Amino acid sequence: RLGLERADTAEKALSVIVDLLEKYGQGGNCMESNMAFTYHNSFLIADRKEAWVLETSGKYWAAEKVEGGIRNISNQLSITTRIDREHPELKEYAKSNGWWDGEKEFDFAATYSYVNTARMTTSGGRYCEGYKLLNKHKGSITSEIMMEILRDKESGINMEGGFMTTGSMVSVLPQQPNLPCIHFFTGTPDPAR
């Protein structure tokens, strides 16, 4: 929300978020119950002209500029070796902890995933299923198709049970500046409604 408030482009919003992350960190319980459960965050940041994926682990982060096609995120790190922006100490921190030898190609997801509690048992399947659903409609994704994907319970995109999806958002961002941007939000916790 602060990225939206303080920036007029996707890349500037990325900078706002990583600056706040550096200054304040992240954390806190992700559940209303007494069970302690925290995880780090992934963001899709887009404007009319460009899009970024930002993934975090503590104060460390990596960002990938989306150059076309389809891109999704889920409850796991998905940025691998293609990193367009990164925390200045990202690789050195991994090296100092023995997570990366400094020799082989650096892979953010492989290096930081095991220290990131967001790696839930169903996340890999959920991420892959989301990619499959997006790829099925590649080149012809409408707001209605996107809403259909976000409502999909069988794939795990719309989670039920102990961990539940609590809301979804679909945005239409035309590249033509004279056309309005349109944003759809779920009105209830369950996107299937």
Q: What is the pTM of this model?
A: 0.89
Last residue within a domain, chosen from 118, 149, 167? 118
How far is 169 from 156, CA to CA, in rounded Å? 17
**Domain encompassing residue 34:** 1-118
Instruction: Report the 10 Å Cβ neighbour count for 87.
Output: 19
Whether 184 and 143 have beta carbons less than 8 Å apart is answered as: yes
Structure tokens at 89: 């100490």
Domain count of the fold of the chain: 2
- pLDDT, average across residues 65-76: 92
pLDDT value for 122: 44
Residue 27: pLDDT above 90?
Answer: no
With the C-alpha atoms ordered 108, 114, 115, 121, is the resulting torsion angle positive or negative?
A: positive
Q: What is the pLDDT of residue 41?
A: 87
Q: Are residues 135 and 109 in the same domain?
A: no
